[in-house]
Amino acid sequence: MTTTPVPGTDTAPDLERRLGEVVAVIQELAALRFDARATVGAAGDIVDAVAAGVNALGEELAASYEEIERRVADRTAELAIATQELRRRALHDDLTGLANRTAFWDRLAHRLERADRRGAAFAVLFLDLDDFKAVNDTLGHAAGDQLLVEVARRIRGELRAGDTAARVGGDEFVVLLDDVASGDVALAVARRVGERLCAPYELGTHRVTTTSSIGVAVGRHGLQTPDAIVAAADAAMYDAKRSGRGACVLHGAGRTGEATSVGVAAPEASPG
């Protein structure tokens, strides 16, 4: 490994051999094999200087390469987190954390595509709070927001893993029941959600009660698109509104539907 030529006494073949070794190391470094090192002799002559310089450059090259790889890994991880956050924001309602309109329509479209292959039906609930405006006007937007967050939490608590709840407007929520045996079963779920939403809400120092009107539309009844199904549930929700506070209506032939009032008998919004 160590050579000890006397400076200035190298023969041409010796010099060529020593320089050849340095050239070989340069080629190794160029191929990103950074552990290559040239022999640095005891003479400390110009060839040793070149060899030591190439070795030192190789070390710096390896360090720079490692630093770049580390930065790329860091940036890639940051990008993945940012992408995940962007995706979450793009598909979720900021206030409640539920799915947003885009995500809901996507999932409903996907469910429609699978409808032909699956025997089970699915249903959409369209839910509107009856007293949200009163709460918002009386207690302020912060209380209104707090109410929406709690409503979302309660709706989510009544659903199964495959179901999807979304907030699609100020106080409008939609739910996709992924697998229901019949309209009656979907209506029973709607009724259960409605009952849960009737329970009092603690908004700061105020206790508030509110009802909700819920329309139900079952898939595979001539409703071929997400828009058509949601529109049917929306129409049933308006039928429920007309039927009185806190009602659930199943969209059906002739839009006569079925109006059923949930457990609490038309409680008033009673802020404070």
Partner 1 sequence: MSEHRTPTSDARGEITGEKFRIWLRPDGVVEIAWAPHVPSGLEDARAVITAMSELTGGRAAPLLVHTTDAGPQDRAARMEFIRRQEVVAAVALVVGNPLSRMMATFFINVSRPDVPIRLFEDEVAAVAWLRGHLV
Query: Which one of 24, 30, 49, 79 is in contact with partner 1 (CB under 8 A)?
Result: 49
Query: Which one of 40, 155, 187, 269 is in contact with partner 1 (CB under 8 A)?
Result: 40
Of 11-19, 38-46, 119-127, 142-150, which segment contacts partner 1 by CB under 8 A?
A: 38-46
CB 17, min distance to partner 1, A = 18
For residue 7 the two structure tokens come to: 């400076």
Rule CB under 8 A: which of 53-112 touch partner 1?
53, 55-56, 59-60, 63
**Cα 150 from Cα 146, distance rounded (Å):** 6
Rule CB under 8 A: which of 132-191 touch partner 1?
none
CB 31, min distance to partner 1, A = 20
Q: Which one of 130, 171, 178, 234 is the catalytic residue?
A: 171
Contact call for residues 260 and 247 (beta carbons, < 8 A): yes
Q: Which is nearer to partner 1, 37 or 154 (CB)?
A: 37
Closest C-alpha among 19, 10, 77 to residue 43:
10
Q: Which is nearer to partner 1, 7 or 204 (CB)?
A: 7
Tell me the site size for partner 1, rule CB under 8 A. Answer: 18
CB 1, min distance to partner 1, A = 11
φ/ψ of 91, rounded to 5, equals -115, 0
Q: Which residues contact 201 (CB under 8 A, 6 or more apart)?
A: 146, 147, 150, 207, 208, 209, 210
Q: Which is nearer to partner 1, 34 or 238 (CB)?
A: 34
CB 47, min distance to partner 1, A = 8
Q: Which is nearer to partner 1, 54 or 103 (CB)?
A: 54
Contact call for residues 165 and 103 (beta carbons, < 8 A): no
DSSP state of 44: -
Q: Which is nearer to partner 1, 42 or 120 (CB)?
A: 42
Strand partners, 123: 177, 218
Tell whether residue 234 is a contact of partner 1 (CB under 8 A): no
Closest C-alpha among 235, 232, 240, 228 to residue 194:
240
Query: Which one of 24, 30, 42, 265 is in contact with partner 1 (CB under 8 A)?
Result: 42
Closest C-alpha among 193, 188, 176, 189 to residue 128:
193
DSSP state of 39: -
Of 52-60, 105-113, 212-220, 254-262, which segment contacts partner 1 by CB under 8 A?
A: 52-60
Contact call for residues 78 and 70 (beta carbons, < 8 A): no
Q: How many CB atoms sit inside 10 A of residue 44's CB?
A: 11
**Cα 146 from Cα 148, distance rounded (Å):** 5
Active site includes 171? yes
* Site residues (vs partner 1, CB under 8 A): 2, 7, 40, 42-46, 48-50, 52-53, 55-56, 59-60, 63
List residues with catalytic annotation.
171
